Structure 1
Amino acid sequence: MRLIDYLDKGASLDAEAPCLICDGEVKTYADVQELSGRVAAALVADGVQPGDKVAILSTNDPTSFTCVFGISRAGAVWCPINPRNEARENRELLELFECSVLIFQASFASLVEAIRSALPRLRTLVCLDDDLEWAARWEDFLARGTEPVDRRCPDDLTMIVGTGGTTGRPKGVMLPGPSIETMTAITLMSYPWPRDGARPTYLALAPLTHAAGVLCFPVLCHGGSIVIMRTPDIAGFLDHVEHNRITHTFLPPTLIYMLLDHPTLDERNLSSLQCFWYGAAPMSASRLEEALNRIGPVMAQLFGQTEAPMMISTMAPRDHYDSDGAIARARLASAGRPSPLVTVAIMADDGRLLERGERGEIVLRSSLVMRGYFNDGAATAEASAHGWHHTGDIGYLDDDGFLFIVDRAKDMVITGGFNVYSAEVEQALMAHPAVADCAVIGLPDDKWGERLTAVLQIRHGSTLDPEELKSFVKARIGSVKTPKQIEIWEDLPRSKIGKVLKTEIKKEFLDLDALTGHHGPARAHPGPGPRFIGP
């Protein structure tokens, strides 16, 4: 299926049903179809050929999201550009993707103007909501198209997505139609949906350029409505759930923590929720249990990556509970079971597949997996060594078939000769009631090789005694895995989608060590910002 086919499927159920809702304005399926057709016709009139790359730079917005379907109807390839990126990263992505057209909001005009001269392939710029001398006006652009269009990309490529580039130059992940179709099929078969002809209502607060966007496609298959929030706002999120009777939504863990800390949460009526997805980063098991108790039995985990979108493994709401109805605490730290259309295995460094309970790299086979990295055969070959897609995550499968992710391969800490997985330590830290969020890293140490170091954010109004916290962690996972250094920072550095950037945390420590020549025991962090509470 093309992306436009999901919209057309929903329209076939009822073209006059609400499709996109934003700021009180409702666009029916017929409205979205009509505008997507005009966008497709304009792109073709502009010279876009099947397989050409068209980028969108926008915050959450119904018009820009409609452009996704217009791109697909024109047979072109959608290239989502994260609006939170810096100008340099966006220039790299547009160059890497070989984009010929960029559709953008006026709020990013200064960024686009700063990089456009360095992008010779970018022949057409279209501003959605302003009159700029150097870009096409939206209505003028639409007026270029006069003939109906319905084309296919010759190699069925649907979208190219950047990997983020947090560890170097970003790569372009090529996702063909079958990848998105497999993701959509898994979503439809793995999670609860309304019955007896009722239609879902999905609330998109997280960026539509990421998980919140691709989760719209299964909603469209049911002819459901998508409520779009332009900016993240937890109070507004709760208002929408109540007033629009939201059935499905997605938030990353950082925003769920903010939701749980919101003072009016327990007063709100969230009874319409059937499926509250969480993912994109590890979630604290203790806070997940809190969400189950306070929000209800609707939490639903998904685990994937850009190269295998969203659904490598799934955990439906019912899987959060034992057969007797009690919360299944032992599996709350898992990533669920491998999805029905995905084969997951655990692999050793030499390519051997490991037994249940053994730890190694998580690998998979599925039509969910990307076609490869755009114009990067070497990276594609590395990611598909031994005939499996390599995730870069370390994990294991338990006897019940649940997948546990213990770390990113690059984040494992070797301290005193022992392998310590930072994710396990982070779970133990997050179980403490005063800890709001945390990151565990290894720092060079003359005695230990790597010093296990925890950087924390604490909950507002809380206090924390480091020795008590160490005892708390030690009682759960032992002394080897207990951090030797603990610091509190006001904020942790995060990526554009809310993931904690351990590379940035480590860099700050290592830059300081380079200045002081220090590689030994813990020492106070000077200056404003982080506050040391270690031994």
Structure 2
Amino acid sequence: MSGLDTPLTPLHFLARAAEVHPDRTAVLDGVRSWTWSEFARDVTRLAQALRRSRIAAGDRVAYLGTNSAELLAAHFAVPLVRGVLVAINTRLSPAEIAYICRHSDAAILLGDGDLLAAAGPGGAYPAVREVVELPGQDGAYCSVPGSIRYAELLARGTDEPIPWEVDDETRTIAVNYTSGTTGEPKGVEYSHRGAYLNALGELHHQGFGNDSRYLWTLPMFHCNGWCTTWALTAAAGTHVCLRAVRGDRMWSLIDTEGITHLAGAPVVLTTLATAAEAHALDRPFTVTTAGAPPSPRLIGRMRELGAEVVHVYGLTETYGPYAVCEAGDTWSRLPAGEQAELLARQGVGMLTADRVRVVRREPDVAGHLVDVTPDGRELGEIVMRGNSVMKGYHRDPEATATAFAGGWFHSGDLGVMHPDGYVKLHDRAKDIVISGGENISTIEVEQAVLSHPEVADVAVIGVPDDRWGERPKAFAVTTPGAQLTAEALMAHVRDRIAHYKAPREIDIVEHLPRTSTGKVRKNELRETAWGTCTVRIQG
């Protein structure tokens, strides 16, 4: 870098918001609120408190909390002292949380009282040297044994300013752990530079402005809220914290707080769309979705409610969203159904990302990755690179080297490249069903099932089959009051996709097992099916 350059860091976003818009509302968390100047003051105090708690450059600070002003503050206070934020999935077991604290070598753990208490007497986090209980939305504490209160931690701090800058933009700003559904969770390292650039990409594609009011339906611990913790701050919008996703509460805040933006997995959109309180809005309202491909029917329903749907795609390893299904210039002239089909694709690289590629599983003789034919049919692996891709896996050089084979990050997702340059995801490599030598996309089957108006949720997996090796099976959740039978649903699906792809077995279930980020735990469904399933051969 030259002497005229300054290292890129999202800390700059808070400094600017506090300077330019000091009296604008920054954060709402229940009955509590902060202006941007007040929030910057509290972030500084927390950063000074962490310094006096012996947090030095490179030290990890873990948070186990729901969406709150305190967790949002951590996204600035921890990197302000050049520490590393480790925001932990709140639905993990105490043993998994303890593993992450140990693997990340976290010095301090801050968490919601009920989540810390779930660890049992004396706590289950011996790897950390101090446990701090965060206040509830009403400011109250649970008084968890073995912990101190957040107010006590803040009392160590001062209001003495700390420069909103970093010495090295490649310094690690956060470590986010993957879900660990196929093994131990991996710690994904983000840099200040990557967080800064991805946040700007989010700001652009989600359309944030200083009048934006963002409802936190997306967990802040998930890829740092897809970097929206930093992106909305860059726009000096208003963060509205939500501790638990419920349809009635979401609609109440949408109406009373004038919410303009929210984000989440398709299951969050389904909760929003099927709530008794759902109604069409006559003002700008943007919903960003990722985590699993949304069905065209769900996209259509959200648009009926007046929402602009922004469909993005990415992984923990790509700071959350990397690609966006940006509408083409002529799409608005197409019928609504065709528009929804196009918007259900994963799209193209975001403004601050490199181009998305879909490559064949085997490189050429020189070891170079080979792109699939862009015909919308040839299946390959989605690969990415650039500023919006992780530094690497924390303390795991072998996994890092494997992930970056050929100089590109290998997502493990299978998809196709369409002639217009837009990518469409077909499946995770581990989820694809190979039946009689034919590849069957579980996503294609799921969307065929979801096209029935009485289906609210679905998951498709491969189950054993004596003749074909495996075949697709669906687990469907119906809408309240529906009388839909499995037989009628199977007939509906057979009318929409090739018969060999259609499930010959559908279980109507009350709910699907999901991670806290909205992804179906297909590994649990597969373990049951392959471990205890009695194979049924039907004509």
- 2:531 matched to 1:521? no
What is the CA-CA distance between 1:109 and the residue it aligns to? 2.9
CA distance in 2, matches of 1:449, 1:133: 53
What is the CA-CA distance between 1:252 and the residue it aligns to? 1.7
- 2:11 matched to 1:4? yes
* Aligned equivalent of 2:264: 251
Output aligned runs, 1:79-90, within 5 Å.
Answer: 79-90=86-97
Q: How many residues align?
A: 511
CA distance in 2, matches of 1:218, 1:313: 16
- 2:349 matched to 1:342? no
Instruction: Give unpaired runs (5+ residues) of structure 2.
Output: 1-7, 136-140, 364-369
- 2:470 matched to 1:470? no
* Aligned equivalent of 2:441: 421
What is the CA-CA distance between 1:510 and the residue it aligns to? 2.7
What is the CA-CA distance between 1:311 and the residue it aligns to? 2.6
What is the CA-CA distance between 1:114 and the residue it aligns to? 5.5
TM-score by length of 2: 0.89
One-letter amino acid of the structure 2 residue matched with residue 203 of structure 1: L
Pick from 138, 156, 178: which aligns with 2:193? 178
Going from structure 1 to structure 2, the CA distance change for 1:15 and 1:441 (only over 3 Å counts) comes to same
Cα pair 1:51 1:153 within 8 Å, conserved: no
Write the deviation string for residues 145-174 of structure 1: whole angstroms up to 9, x where unpaired: 345444737651110000011111100000
* Aligned equivalent of 2:341: 330
The farther-off stretch of 472-481 and 364-373 is: 472-481
CA distance in 1, matches of 2:329, 2:523: 32
CA distance in 1, matches of 2:39, 2:293: 35
Output aligned runs, 1:347-386, within 5 Å.
Answer: 347-351=359-363, 352-357=370-375, 358-386=378-406
CA distance in 2, matches of 1:113, 1:144: 28
One-letter amino acid of the structure 2 residue matched with residue 31 of structure 1: E
- 2:282 matched to 1:276? no
* Aligned equivalent of 1:57: 64
* Aligned equivalent of 1:300: 310
RMSD in angstroms over aligned alpha carbons?
2.2
Output aligned runs, 1:118-517, within 5 Å.
Answer: 119-120=126-127, 122-129=128-135, 130=141, 131-132=143-144, 134-146=146-158, 148-150=161-163, 152=166, 155-194=170-209, 199-210=211-222, 212=225, 214-266=227-279, 270-293=281-304, 295-316=305-326, 318-319=327-328, 322-324=331-333, 326-327=335-336, 328-340=339-351, 341-351=353-363, 352-357=370-375, 358-513=378-533
Cα pair 1:320 1:331 within 8 Å, conserved: no
Q: Secondary structure of 2:427's match?
A: strand
What is the CA-CA distance between 1:134 and the residue it aligns to? 2.2
* Aligned equivalent of 1:525: none
CA distance in 2, matches of 1:368, 1:313: 10
Going from structure 1 to structure 2, the CA distance change for 1:320 and 1:167 (only over 3 Å counts) comes to farther
TM-score by length of 1: 0.90
CA distance in 2, matches of 1:179, 1:238: 33
CA distance in 1, matches of 2:478, 2:486: 12
Q: Secondary structure of 1:277's match?
A: strand
Cα pair 1:429 1:473 within 8 Å, conserved: yes
Cα pair 2:260 2:284 within 8 Å, conserved: yes
Cα pair 1:193 1:274 within 8 Å, conserved: no
Going from structure 1 to structure 2, the CA distance change for 1:83 and 1:156 (only over 3 Å counts) comes to same
* Aligned equivalent of 1:532: none
Cα pair 2:206 2:288 within 8 Å, conserved: no
* Aligned equivalent of 1:75: 82
The farther-off stretch of 256-265 and 38-47 is: 256-265
One-letter amino acid of the structure 2 residue matched with residue 125 of structure 1: V
One-letter amino acid of the structure 2 residue matched with residue 521 of structure 1: I
Cα pair 1:157 1:174 within 8 Å, conserved: yes
What is the CA-CA distance between 1:8 and the residue it aligns to? 1.4
* Aligned equivalent of 2:53: 46
CA distance in 2, matches of 1:260, 1:490: 18
The farther-off stretch of 321-330 and 256-265 is: 321-330
What is the CA-CA distance between 1:251 and the residue it aligns to? 2.5
What is the CA-CA distance between 1:110 and the residue it aligns to? 2.1
Cα pair 1:50 1:153 within 8 Å, conserved: no
What is the CA-CA distance between 1:325 and the residue it aligns to? 5.9
CA distance in 2, matches of 1:320, 1:329: 15
Cα pair 1:59 1:207 within 8 Å, conserved: yes
One-letter amino acid of the structure 1 residue matched with residue 166 of structure 2: R
What is the CA-CA distance between 1:320 and the residue it aligns to? 10
Q: Secondary structure of 1:410's match?
A: coil
Q: Secondary structure of 1:260's match?
A: helix
